[in-house]
């Protein structure tokens, strides 16, 4: 890479967010109360929310992926609007699929089914006008979950 190309990349870097104790495996973005945020999942078994305007963490680390069968690394994250709230859905090595209210940093409902194995991928969409999360698992299955029922 030429010196000018490297300088161009460096000039584009706006900020570096640090705070996880280990590597970041997953990342998603959302808007919470009108501010853009990044949501990160890590090898340190936590989810963090970052205000992208100032680069600061929003609250402390969100814990809840402590390993049940294996480690609780957070491998996958997605964001969605659920019942008018910005939410993050996280999964990984702990066999837990958690939903978090991004405004409060609290769990929303109970974790989705814990017996299905490790969650390697998470995505969200709307199906029949209802928010759903689609999860990909180490057992080769793709599962579709109705998020609105988690709030009932």
Global pTM reads 0.82
Determine the Cα–Cα distance for residues 15 and 12; give it in Å rounded to an integer: 9
pLDDT in tens, the chain (152 residues): 565 555 556 678 888 888 888 889 999 999 999 999 999 998 888 899 999 999 999 988 888 665 444 577 888 999 999 888 899 999 887 777 889 999 999 988 878 766 677 888 999 999 999 899 999 988 899 999 988 765 54
Determine the Cα–Cα distance for residues 74 and 67; give it in Å rounded to an integer: 10
């Amino acid at each position: 890479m030429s010196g000018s190309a490297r300088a161009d990349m460096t000039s584009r870097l706006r900020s570096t967010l640090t705070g996880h104790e280990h590597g970041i495996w997953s990342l998603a973005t959302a808007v919470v109360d009108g501010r853009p945020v990044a949501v990160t999942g890590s090898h340190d078994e936590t989810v963090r929310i970052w205000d992208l305007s100032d680069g600061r963490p929003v609250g402390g680390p969100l814990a809840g992926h402590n390993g049940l069968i294996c480690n609780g690394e957070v491998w996958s994250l997605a964001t969605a609007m659920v019942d008018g709230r910005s939410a993050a859905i996280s999964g990984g090595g702990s066999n837990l699929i958690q939903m978090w209210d991004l405004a409060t940093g609290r769990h929303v409902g109970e974790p989705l089914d814990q017996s299905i194995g490790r969650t390697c991928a998470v995505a969200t969409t709307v199906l029949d006008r209802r928010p759903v999360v689609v999860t990909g698992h180490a057992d080769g299955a793709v599962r579709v979950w109705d998020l609105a029922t988690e709030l009932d």
